[in-house]
Amino acid sequence: MKKLILSVSLFGLFLLFGNTVSAQATIAVVQKIDAATNSAITSIKENKSLKDAEKEKFVLRIETFASAAKKNEDARAIEVFEAEYNRIAENYKRTTGNELPELIANK
């Protein structure tokens, strides 16, 4: 009986600890994605050579993929966001001749 209680208690601690680590990882992912998103959006909005409609197009794409990555809530979310961010940054550079800030999501 004592072994059963100990086993159940240890399993409960494992679940509690596992959820805490998972929640912390999720918060870290969201914070990194938000930092990258905010930096890029600021850069886009400050670009005087772009028309407002073009700015909104780039901002909307970045916000859309950032939102999807945050909803995913796992470590792969950053990888997916980084890949799409890089595609958007390449298109932005071709369109404007300017570069978006370096992605800081994985740093």
CB 104 within 8 A of CB 71: no
CB 45 within 8 Å of CB 54: no
Percentage above 70 pLDDT, the chain: 68
Q: What are the pLDDT digits (tens) for 63-91?
A: 888 888 877 766 677 778 888 888 888 99
pLDDT of residue 3 exceeding 70, the answer is: no
CB atoms within 10 A of CB 37: 22
Which carries the bigger pLDDT value, residue 8 or residue 77? 77
Q: What is the CA radius of gyration of the chain?
A: 20
